[in-house]
Structures are given as C-alpha cells and as structure tokens.
Amino acid sequence: MEYISTRGNVEARGFIDTVLMGLADDGGLMVPVQIPQISAETLAEWRGLSFQELFLEIFSYYTNDEIPYDDLKKMVNTSYANFRAPEVAPLHKVNDSLYVLELFHGPTFAFKDVALQFMGELYSYIAKVRGEIIHILGATSGDTGAAAIAGVRGKEGIKICILHPHNKVSKVQELQMTTVDDANVLNLSVNGTFDDCQQAIKELFADLDFKGRYHLRAINSINFVRILAQTVYYFHAYLQLPADIGKINISVPSGNFGNIFSGYLAQRMGLPIGKLIIATNENNILERFVLTGEYKPGNFVGTHSPSMDIQVASNFERYLYYLLGEDAVKLSAYMSLLKTDGKITVEGELLDQVQKDFGALGVKNQQCLDIIGKYEQEYGYLLDPHTACGIAAYEACSTPEDITVTFATAHPAKFDESIALTGIQQEFPEPISRLFSLPQHMTVVENDLEQIVGELKAFF
C-alpha cells in the first residue's frame, strides 16, 4: 500500500512516512493509492472479534508490515487498556430502529480518544525506532486537543502544542487541556475561531522549511491515520448488530468532515452502509453542500454544540477527490477556485452522487435542546448536544423501516452549559468534577501568525 496526495504532486509514500508528513507537502491530503476491499465472507469472519482484534485486522491492510505485528498489537492493547468500557465502544439500543454507539468511554470522555490514544502510542513508537524528534502541532474545536494531550503527555521525545479558540470551547473541554502541567505540553488560546486556529496550522505545515526545521507532525484529521483509526468503529458498530441486519444508516455529528469521511472510507471498503447522514449545527456548510451542491463558508455562529462550530471542513477535500474520480488535476482546480472565489459548486451527476452518498441536517439550537429533553424523558437516555444533533438528523433522514446507528461523540458532562438549559441536572463523573479544583496553564495569544510562531519557537 502506498499513499499519494489529493493534489497529485507528492511522490508515493509508505505508511509511516505518510503519518509523519500529515498534511501533504503540496497542500493536499494523503490518501491510499487504492482502497482495500473487504469481502462479505471476511466481514462475517470478523464477527465476534474484540475491538482491539478488529483494529489489527483493518490496519493490516494499510501498514505494509512496516510495523511488526507484535509491536502493533502491543500499541493497540496499550491504547485501549484505560477505556472505561471493555467493549471500547458499546452499542446501546434505544428503540427498534435506533442504536447509539457510545464513543465516549476513553480518558477524556470524547470520541477523539479512540484515534488519539493510538496515535500517541504510534508517535512514541516512531520516535524511538527511528530516532525522530516529534513536535505535534494541532488545532481543536474542543475535543481533539484534550484527547491529543492525553495521548502524549509525559512521553519522551514528543512535545505537543494545541491551539484552541479562546472562550469558544466548553469549560470542561478547556479544563481538560489546560490543567495539564507536563513540560511537553503547550496550550495556546487564540482570540479567534476554530477556523482561525486551523488556518494557522495549515499555513505552518505548508511552510516546508519551518515544518522541517521544527519537526512538525500533525494530529488533526488531516493525518490519514486519524481517519483510519476512526474507520474501525464503523465496522465495530455493524458487527455488534444481528448477522442478518443488511444495510444500515449511520448518523454522524461532524463539523470538520473527518469522522464522516471515515465512514465513507468504510463504505468504500465494503461495509454495508445504506446512507451516511451528516449532522451539523447552525454552522451548516456541509448541509448546504449536500442539499444544493454549493460549498461556501458562511458566518460563524456560536451554538450549543461548540465542537461543530466550524465553517471550513478540512477533510472535505478527501471526499471531493473521490467524487471527482480520483482526478488530482480536477481536484486542484476546484481547490484553487475555493481560494479565489470563496466557494465550490457541483452540479448535475456530481450533485446526484453527493445526494446518494449522504443525507444531511443542520440542527437549530432550540431543536438540539428539544431532542435532549425528549430522549431523556422518553428513554431515560441523556445525550450531549452533538449527539442530539445526530439524533435529530436520524429522525429527519431515516424511515421507521431503516436501522440507524447514531454516534454518541461525547459524554454529556462535557457540555453541562447546554444540558442545564433543558432543566436537566446531571451528576459529573469524578474525573471531570476533579478538574474544577486544578490550576490552569495556557497562554492567550492574538489571531496573529507571527505571535503564534514566536510561542512555538520558544517552546520547541
């Protein structure tokens, strides 16, 4: 298996070199030269595997044996040893047509733990076997930062800097990042939006001299290994359902298109997914793209689901590459158009294909709260606001005959500001309650690349 850039100007790389590159050197995103096909027979053989065993099976198609099996197995087992659920991601039946895959049983109570606990182990392994210096640089709308820091804090040979938008993440998300006092962790709180943080990251990775001199590595979903690790739980969800289930729909809260693209990859690999449903909030660029074919960033809106308060979905480029028939020239032309005109439009057969691939719903703030109240009252099941958006999208885009799995992307305690608006009082898990008594460690900076670079140089 080799990996190439969506924009076609990077020499094919192996698995580890792809991990280390993160954002492709030509500004594109790395993708596999071909997507492995999983037969129905193989899928049946995987039924009954543990999450860890399934992870090893799927990764074996992508790693080219660059990591000895025993080393990979040790990393996987270490990554998921501290999850609170033995299944890693248990499947909860809500009613006859709806299941919820709980992805919040990792150390930071969010779905990002599933990929980032492994990425922390992987980067640590690469640092040791290759003698590499690993300086991780990432941006977060809330959950990636905490999960990334939890994955690498205190690890030898690794430093991590995370940018987050100042006062635009939940208090628990902020505390999970900023109460970490390890010497290898730097939190920069940027006076701006997540899109501003993400743009700074992209500019720094695009500066190949700076990237090389400071050994920058990516932990955001621009890194293909994040996408691949998330693909595992799509297979895991399906394989927990009855063997005769047929095709299922999957509703995914998604702001940056990474999680939903993992589902698209799983579907392309052969997982029987009927429709992937994109759940967004009032920052609804993805819903507008699916409904109209226009991809155009709009005005930022603060919502009850802040991890999806995103206008520029960085993983959208990967999907567009496949939509355009894996034509890097066409893809590059579209991305140039986005830069010059501020939008991309697809029409005709391309739009028809988009609407075959996805359903979508941009959930309004009050609708999100109403769903939280409804499911707590009717089923005794408390949803975080992002999962509530996923449930609202399930209700809008599925029929009663469909079987739909909605991803629960975070524990509700991470977003008590939103839950409290419904009148529901919840009890915090002890690890989250403890955060409020700890001192914080972060540096507030302006949305200014020069100032951010200065902080990075001093840290690295």
The residues spanned by each domain of the chain are: 91-109+233-420
pLDDT digits (tens, 9 = 90+) for 242-258: 999 999 999 999 988 99
Q: Give the chain's mean pLDDT.
A: 95
What pLDDT sits at residue 275? 94
pLDDT tier at 313, thresholds 50, 70, 90: confident
What pLDDT sits at residue 306? 85
pLDDT tier at 2, thresholds 50, 70, 90: very high
Asked whether the predicted pLDDT for residue 291 surpasses 90, the reply is yes
168 assigned to active site: no
Q: Which of 73, 74, 112, 374 is catalytic?
A: 112
Residues sharing a CB contact under 8 Å with residue 70, sequence separation 6 or more, in sequence order: none
What pLDDT sits at residue 300? 86
What pLDDT sits at residue 31? 98
Asked whether the predicted pLDDT for residue 157 surpasses 90, the reply is no
pLDDT tier at 312, thresholds 50, 70, 90: confident
Tokens, residue 28: 């594109």
Classified by CATH at the fold level, domain 91-109+233-420 comes out as Rossmann fold (3.40.50)
